[in-house]
Structure 1
Amino acid sequence: MSLMLKLLATALLLSNFLQASTSNEDVEKFLKKSFEGNPNIIKLSVKVEQTIVLEKVKGWSAYIVGVDATVKAKQGSRDVKQKMIWFSNGDTISPDLIDVKTGISLKESVSPSFELKYYKKENLIYGNADAEHRVAIFSDPLCPFCRNFVPKAINTMKKDPKKFAIYYYHFPLPSLHPAAVELVKAAVAAELQGEKDVVLKLYTVEVDSREKDINKILAAFNKTMKTNITPEDLKSKAVMEHINSDLNIANNLMVNGTPTMFFDDKLDKTKRKFEKVK
Structure 2
Amino acid sequence: MRIGTQGWNYDAWVGPFYPSGTRVGDFLSMYARAFRTVEVDSTFYAIPPAKTVRGWAERTPADFSFALKLPQEITHERRLRGDDAVSAMQLFFDRARELGPKLGPVLVQLGPDFGPAELPALVQFLPRLPDDVPVAIEFRQRGWLTDGVLALLAEHRVAVALTDARWVPRRQMLALAERPTADFAYVRWMGPNRDIVDYSRIQVDRTRELEAWAAALRALAGRLDRVWGYVNNHFAGHSPSSARDLQRMLGQRPVQPDELGDQLGLF
Decide which structure has greater helix share: 2
Q: TM-score, normalised by structure 1?
A: 0.25
Largest Rg, 1 or 2: 1
> TM (normalized to structure 2)?
0.25
